[in-house]
Amino acid sequence: MKKFALAGNPNCGKTTLFNSLTGSTAHVGNWPGVTVDKKEGVYKKCAEPISIVDLPGIYSLSPYTPEEVVSRNFILDEKPDCIINIVDATNLERNLYLTTQIMEIDVPMVIALNMMDVVEKNGDKIDAAKLEEKIGLPVVGISALKESNLDNLMNRAYEVSSQSREGATVLAGTQLMHLIEDCKIALKGQKVDNTLFHAIKLVELDEIEVTMHPESAKMVEEFKNTFSDDTFGSDFEAIVADSRYKYITKNYSSVLERNKAAEKSRLSRSDKADKVLTHKIWGIPIFLVILFAIFHLTFSENLLGIGFGLPEGWVSLEGTVAEGLFGEGGINSPGVFLQSLLGLATDSITDAIRGAMESGAVAEWATGFICDGVLAGLFSVLSFLPQILLLFLFFSILEDSGYMARVAFILDRIFRKFGLSGRAFMPMIMGFGCSIPAMINTRTLADRNERTATVRVIPFFSCGAKLPILIAVAGGIASMANIGYGDLITYGMYVLGVIVAICSVILMRNTTMKGDVPPFIMELPAYHAPQFKNLMLHLWDKLKHFVKKAFTIILVSTIIIWFFSHFAWNWTYLPDEEMNGSILASIGQLIQPIFTPLGFGSQLGAAGWVFAVAAITGLIAKENVIATFGTLAACIVAGFEANEALEGVDSLVALIGATGISVPALISFIAFNMLTIPCFAAVATAKAELPSKKSFRLTILFWVATSYIVGTMIYLVGSWWWTLFIVLAIWAVVITLIVLQNKGIIDIKKFFGKFKIKRRNS
Ligand code: GDP
Ligand code: MG
């Protein structure tokens, strides 16, 4: 099969084009650096099927970060049959800089002038035919988003893919051309292909190239000593870059006719927005307020903050659609409303199945297994789906509009002080969705230690799977403490995760993970209205992933949990009330003491083992924590409040109350689950992305230690306020030691080293 590669600057629309051509649903974001690994799909509308490869965005073919290396190596080594170079037409000159480099490779190539819809809307004009004539390559104007002119593009690409093309360069008329020709001859002698490209990279003294051809590099170094340019001295890299830009401005810029007036007003609007949104002082508070508004709209049970109790017994809303709208005497947020609608549906499914099974004379345990075990577990997780989707819809809107890129920009100022660059913000924000793509995205970070530190803290950015834990337990806290601020608690827990992440990064970057922070160069993408198609793609992806997980891992886990919680060691069936004698209960009780310092261990007595079990099942998938509660709740609640039929989220809250756990212990429980070893899949990803086995083992240890320490601190300080002073004192000592170590006043390693030697001698 023929293979075409999509190459271009970050954020020029490669993935959008890829999705349009292949019918895939890869992640598109208004943000440079979304695609960090290559993706493949098939285009079927040419004479033969064609494999399309989406590459990470690059500004040049001299790579700095691992993802940029992916693109360069693909183009050079895998020899695609054609390169489709995507050029953002609204940013013509800068995008053509990469084009002038790809041109130098001996490969068929077409230029796709993307975003033509925006160009038109802006009132600008681009003469594609004139550009084609000047640049000597096919040029096709397209809109990847509106899917216009794509067939034409593919036909041109298909045409040229069967011809061979020799590299051409815009550097032909410069003073360096002789040197380039000499290098070319030398490389040809060594049977290197793409000689022109490699010769130019050699002249630039590109790092990869110099290690590949040290002999020829020496020749360039020698020539350098005899050469001096007026502006750049003998910095060949700068001379080459400058020559490219000069050529582009002189020869290509004239194809673009800008509508000056419209551009001015557009820029001033975007500038005005940026003045507010990226303000030095107000930028971050604005971001926090926007985030809170999102949480409020998704999780609040009292949207307007005013309660209006309906007269007691006046009209019963129970079990109706209206209950979902008004809930506890206030107007519910859209998230809670949707959740309760889904709850009505799942409750009636359970009731219908229960009724059918009971009237059909099915064994009691079978009814319990299906209704209280499997369905209760599954539905307790599914019930959070509307809120998860809504939250992601809001996040996608922020991302697609271009606002998230601004947040990275404001955060860079602060991140820098902690030893991170603003680039690290992107994977972190992605972590709110799922840790796995987030960890993969750390490939955009150039410093190895920065990358390791970021991978380690990504799970602290609470992912979608942890959301049910937050909502359910926050609901439990709100009802136990008799306050109506479930959404505030959920928001607070997110913020806690972020604070712990920041503290951990500071700690790591000052001790074991030191390193330079490379300068943060990211262009701000243009603001635009969020695209409906992109938003729906994001949601669809999320929905698919969630439902697939629910009916595989979570379903199986639920069945196993039900089974072990309803059989004793001698394989006799136990009814709901006697679950404390089950296999699962005895295992749970065995490990329960581990969690005593965190507040949900031995002090909870006989029924407390559910927390220990939930914490362990969460290591497979975080949704399991709540699925476990769901499966066990029906039973425990039956034991405690035999007369009340509770279903869905209410039963979780009742279960939590029934164990007699305290509010600080519940907060500690959330914190533990949020900060501890993430799910199985994320652990596997971390292993692949971290530089060594040792670093991976330390990472696991780091997660266990952090969750345990933070959980204990929360429980201690929450239960006995004066322990705050002890906690603060310990931190003060730790920080002082680190500062002294970094200033070179003390040497902790030496201290421990002495310790070891002493022990060995004695
Ligand atoms: P990539 O980084 O090159 O893969 O770029 P993406 O495909 O992720 O797109 C970046 C942004 O540009 C997204 O917000 C897209 O919706 C937007 N975009 C891509 N192509 C077009 C287009 O033809 N017209 C318009 N108006 N927007 C586009
Ligand atoms: Mg992309």
Considering every ligand atom shown, identify the ligand nearest to the alpha carbon of residue 529 and give its number: 1
Residue 306, pLDDT score = 57
Is 396 close to ligand 1, i.e. is its CB under 6 Å away?
no
Distances (CA, A) of 499 to 9, 243, 411, 460, 506: 34, 47, 14, 9, 11
pLDDT of 164 > 50? The answer is: yes
Q: What confidence tier does 665 reach under pLDDT thresholds 50, 70, 90?
A: very high
The pTM assigned to this predicted structure is 0.78
User: Ligand 2 centre and the CA of 268: distance in Å?
Assistant: 28
Q: Which residue has the higher pLDDT, 55 or 31?
A: 55
Tokens of 154: 């593919």
pLDDT in tens, 321-362: 666 666 555 677 888 888 888 888 888 888 898 888 888 878
C-alpha–C-alpha distance, residues 517 and 505, integer Å: 13
pLDDT of 319 > 70? The answer is: no
C-alpha–C-alpha distance, residues 482 and 193, integer Å: 74
C-alpha–C-alpha distance, residues 87 and 454, integer Å: 32
Distances (CA, A) of 511 to 455, 501, 652, 727: 17, 15, 42, 21
User: Ligand 2 centre and the CA of 426: distance in Å?
Assistant: 14
User: Ligand 1 centre and the CA of 30: distance in Å?
Assistant: 7
Q: Which residue has the higher pLDDT, 497 or 319?
A: 497
Is 695 close to ligand 1, i.e. is its CB under 6 Å away?
no
Is 114 close to ligand 1, i.e. is its CB under 6 Å away?
yes
Is 34 close to ligand 1, i.e. is its CB under 6 Å away?
yes
User: Ligand 1 centre and the CA of 25: distance in Å?
Assistant: 13
Q: Residue of the nearest CA to atom 2 in ligand 1?
A: 11
Q: What is 566-609 written as a DSSP string?
A: SB-TT--B--GGGGGGSHHHHHHHHHGGGGGGGTSSGGGGGGGH
Residue 592, pLDDT score = 92
User: Ligand 2 centre and the CA of 12: distance in Å?
Assistant: 8
Select from 459, 493, 452, 427 the least CA-distant residue to 676. 459
pLDDT in tens, 557-590: 889 888 888 888 888 888 777 778 889 989 999 9
Considering every ligand atom shown, identify the ligand nearest to the alpha carbon of residue 56 and give its number: 2
| CA-400 nearest atom, ligand 1 | 14
Q: What is 347-388 written as a DSSP string?
A: HHHHHHHHHHHHHTT--HHHHIIIIIIIIHHHHHHHTTHHHH
Is 719 close to ligand 1, i.e. is its CB under 6 Å away?
no
Residue 128, pLDDT score = 93
For residue 48, the one-letter residue type is E
Mean pLDDT is highest, among 221-230, 244-253, 574-583, for 244-253
Residue 762, pLDDT score = 45
| CA-142 nearest atom, ligand 1 | 23
| CA-12 nearest atom, ligand 1 | 3
Q: What confidence tier does 318 reach under pLDDT thresholds 50, 70, 90?
A: low
Is 504 close to ligand 1, i.e. is its CB under 6 Å away?
no
Compute how many other C-beta atoms are within 10 angstroms of the C-beta atom of residue 611.
Answer: 28
Mean pLDDT is highest, among 269-283, 597-611, 711-725, for 711-725
Q: What confidence tier does 139 reach under pLDDT thresholds 50, 70, 90?
A: very high
10 Å CB burial of residue 393 (0-12, 13-18, 19+) is: middle
Percent of the chain with pLDDT over 70: 91
pLDDT of 82 > 90? The answer is: yes
Mutating to test ligand 1, I would choose from 38, 58, 87, 145 the residue with most ligand atoms within 8 A of its C-beta, which is: 145
Is 339 close to ligand 1, i.e. is its CB under 6 Å away?
no
C-alpha–C-alpha distance, residues 481 and 309, integer Å: 19
Rounded mean pLDDT, 627-642: 67
Tokens of 310: 């309906």
Between CA 122 and CA 127, with CA 124 as vertex, the angle to 5 degrees is: 145
**Which residues touch 22 (CB under 8 Å, ≥6 apart)?**
41, 42, 43, 52
